[in-house]
Structure 1
């Protein structure tokens, strides 16, 4: 029992937000009279919040260093405008246009990283300047107008589904069912392999019975999601992209030297530097990566809207920052996970979706999301003070 208490106390941020997400979903399922969990709405929830999930992953790395990026919403609009110009006006094929758009995002991120890491300008100032600059450049490029339409293959990135929608088993999309079983098997293998490695090196582990319960809950959640999607149009392409990003950045943050250096930088920059961490390079790469993911989110937004608009990406940076803090990242840096940021983004998404279904005004939605963010940060401060006292 002591090991169980220690485990949950050490992971209270992550599990607390997962439980909160479950309770919020259950609450809105009751308040919306079952609409929230309908297959069409589940799919819509994923498509609507895909850009927040992508930005939250990149923003987490910034938050881990103890900083934020205020420019991501403007970069989303800027890259969307660039994509529209080269595809709609210049008739460039989709593949090279995507590569150019991603390169633009990398250059924007590198521009921010250069001033932050090497010129030592505070990230708040640099990214605030970037927010104003790239919003202005978006207006210049689009001349205050909306550019549309994009090719269908480009739209499919944000609003398309995996092929094989006609391949069904009864009322269910077969590919969605197969992927649900496959992901369940991979998750079980991953947990058991990780448990075996912890035993091998003498790390503390949960009792096997509790591990089985945890596996059962996650497997049920995976298959419930894929069953819901299987009853509609199958697996959205953007969902496959999101899963790939989550797996990639989880690996980077938890299994690579670069990931450990990010945590070290956020924990104590001076100590990290004295330990041999190239802190300037790490900071530069973190903000370059944020530019890359902002560009990806910009193309997703443009593809979903089938247009590039001057107002695209408005307030996206606040959604991404809030997702990280709600998901358990520490405002002082050095604490947080990719999965936690995704959970935080889903909390925001479910709140938006549930309140919209209920007809709650946008004004009240903003107020409620602000209170949720404040509560999450207060929870972070409280748990940190408790752990220091212990």
Structure 2
């Protein structure tokens, strides 16, 4: 009994440490945003730029969510950029060359992504080929397939009902130049944050497990609510809530639930922590590997739709280096290089940090080569800090 209680306290303590790491990422996001506010003379604070952050980085968040599941198993998927391009190419070609309807084109994009994912899953799970090798192959194959489908041409323009998913907005109710729908959504989210915090705190206390100090929780929630209300206030000053934001919220919510509340989610964490022990405990690791990579392919299909909709066309160069942004988002968001540690919300924060960096450096007029240096340094710094902190604890 005593051993069980000690183990429970240890798990809870680890959870508190992970939460503190996520708080640090949120503070880092704020710091980066404020720094670029000075470097750009406030250009990144405008309503139109906040809206652009969503439009320009929706694909990063989608891919980061799927990539996190791969990272939790201790691996990555290098082929996502090429798969995104191929999925967009299929949708664009069906619409432009064959007159397919938008639903058909979108379903085809999702199917192609799922097939790519299943292809990787079979080689990784059934044939035990290292994911690095398989996904490196799909990176090359996917790009080639994209060029073959498009015949090295851009397919467009795509119809308004297709591009709506990336450029459309919810209906607005303007009062004094502000969209009240955006304001109300911001308030509702803020209330939910407080209620969920109270519920989590009460449940933790009820089980006699350690919790973060109350003042820390109050400060954390105040900061998060401040970010939420600033964000929706800025959206209210432009065109309201983008349809893409609703899609992102649904995807993040579903995968947050899967990773925190389901058996499938716990199995992924168990595999990343110790694959051999997971097998011995009865977890079908082959099945887990398969669905993780099949799921990554499906989300590539979603990202392919979002990207081609934003560009209103399918291009051969689409998706270039997207895998780097997705992988970096996971590690910057607190995922461990060895697997077994990381959260969906952390990956989203990491993706937002990448997005703010990209957006801020562009507004500040940084050379594209300098931008790559900065992003590489940020990624290296995040991983180095994570590894050094583990060595100290060890």
1:81 Cα deviation (Å)? 0.6
Give the 3-state SS of the residue equivalent to 2:44 in structure 1.
coil
1:210 Cα deviation (Å)? 3.0
Aligned to 1:295: 301
Give the 3-state SS of the residue equivalent to 1:36 in structure 2.
helix
Instruction: List gaps (5 residues or longer) in structure 2.
Output: 1-12
Q: Aligned partners of 1:368, 1:206: CA distance in 2, in Å?
A: 34
CA separation of 1:171/1:125 partners in 2, compared to 1, >3 Å: closer, same or farther?
A: same
1:80 aligns with 2:88: yes
Which of 316, 319, 333 in structure 1 is aligned with 2:339?
333
With 222-231 and 85-94 compared, the bigger mean Cα shift is at 85-94
User: Once the two structures are superposed, what CA deviation does each residue of 1:105-136 show, in whole Å capped at 9, x if it has no partner?
Assistant: 11110110000011000101100111111110
1:280 Cα deviation (Å)? 0.5
What does 1:4-153 align with in structure 2 at a 5 Å threshold?
9-153=17-161
1:48 Cα deviation (Å)? 0.5
Moved over 6 A (4+): 5-8
Aligned to 1:172: 178
Aligned to 2:311: 305
Aligned to 2:240: 234
Instruction: List gaps (5 residues or longer) in structure 1.
Output: none
Aligned to 2:10: none
Contact 2:47 2:234 in 1 (8 A): yes
Aligned to 2:200: 194
Aligned to 2:230: 224
CA separation of 1:152/1:378 partners in 2, compared to 1, >3 Å: closer, same or farther?
A: same
Q: Aligned partners of 1:7, 1:63: CA distance in 2, in Å?
A: 18
User: Once the two structures are superposed, what CA deviation does each residue of 1:27-83 show, in whole Å capped at 9, x if it has no partner?
Assistant: 111111111111111111111011111100000000000000010000000000100
What TM-score do you get using the length of structure 1 for normalisation? 0.95
What does 1:236-251 align with in structure 2 at a 5 Å threshold?
236-251=242-257
User: Once the two structures are superposed, what CA deviation does each residue of 1:233-281 show, in whole Å capped at 9, x if it has no partner?
Assistant: 1011111111111111111111111000000111110000001111000
Q: How many residues align?
A: 383
CA-atom RMSD in angstroms: 1.5
Q: Aligned partners of 2:339, 2:290: CA distance in 1, in Å?
A: 16
What TM-score do you get using the length of structure 2 for normalisation? 0.94
1:193 Cα deviation (Å)? 1.3
